[in-house]
Amino acid sequence: MAQEVTGEMLKQAFNDFQAYRRAGKIVVDYSLLSSIVMHFTAKNSPKKHEMQEYYLQNLVAPLNRWMPVYGIDTAIRAAHFLSQACCETFQFTAVTEIPKNGGKEYDGRKSLGNTQPGDGPRYIGRGLLHLTGRENYRVMGNKIGVNLEQNPNVVSDDLDIAVRTACEYWKNRGINAFADKDDFDTVTQKINGGHNGRDERYASLQRIKKKLGIV
C-alpha cells in the first residue's frame, strides 16, 4: 500500500492550489480525477472500488506538487497527462503493472537493460506511467536522486515518487509539445510505445476535456 498523505503534504497542496489558482494554472482535485475514470462500484467490484477511491484521494497532493514543476500546468497538458495515467493505472486502481507472466516476459530484454536473471519481474512497470526495466529505473533514479535500481518497489509504494517519475518521463520525452497540439496519437505512442488501449485512452481524454471545458 502506498504511503498515507500527511498533514504537511495536505497543507502544501492547499498552498499550491491557492497559488496556481491565482496564476490561472490547472489545479488537480478529486472531482477532476473522478471525471476521467470508469467507476467501479462497491457492490460489483468492492476491491477495485476501494483502491480506486484510495488513489483518487491520495494522488491529489503529489500531482499538484509535481505537475507544475514539469510544466504540466495548462488544461490541455493536464488532460493528456492524466488521461494517459488513468489508463496506465487501470482506471486509477493500481500503480503496479500486472503482467501476464509475472514479468518473466521482460527477462533478457536488452532494450530495457534487463541483463540479470530475474530482472523482468523485479523491474516490472510501476508508477503512474509504468516505469519498466532495470536501465530505466537506474536512469530515472539518477535524475531524481533516489536509488530506484536497488529499491524498485518505492516507485509504487511512495505516491510522491510514483507521480514524480511519471512527470520526469513526460518531460524527458518532450510530450508537452505534442499535448499542446492535441496530438493524441503521438502522445499515446510516446507513452505506450504503440497504440494499445487506444479507444480507452481516447475516451478518458474526452471525459477530462469535457470536465475542463476544452472544445
Per-residue pLDDT of the chain (215 residues; tens, 9 = 90+): 445 667 777 677 656 555 554 445 789 999 999 999 999 999 999 999 999 999 999 999 999 999 999 999 999 999 999 999 999 999 999 999 998 888 999 998 999 999 999 999 999 999 999 999 999 999 999 999 999 999 999 999 999 999 999 999 999 999 999 999 999 999 999 998 888 899 999 999 999 999 999 97
Asked if residue 153 is part of any domain, the answer here is: no
Asked if residue 59 is part of any domain, the answer here is: yes
Look-up of cell digits 487506444:
198
Q: Tell how far CA 187 is from the center of its chain.
A: 14
Q: Print the domain residue range for 172.
A: 7-96+158-212
- 103: amino acid identity, one letter: G
Q: How many domains does the chain have?
A: 1
Reported as half-sphere exposure (CB side, CA atoms, 13 A), residue 71 has a value of 13
Asked if residue 103 is part of any domain, the answer here is: no
d(CA 85, CA 82): 5
Asked if residue 121 is part of any domain, the answer here is: no
- As a whole number of Å, the end-to-end CA separation of the chain is 37
Asked if residue 42 is part of any domain, the answer here is: yes
d(CA 201, CA 87): 6
Asked if residue 38 is part of any domain, the answer here is: yes
Q: What 3-state class would DSSP assign to 74?
A: coil
On the 0-12 / 13-18 / 19+ scale of CB atoms within 10 A, 55 is buried
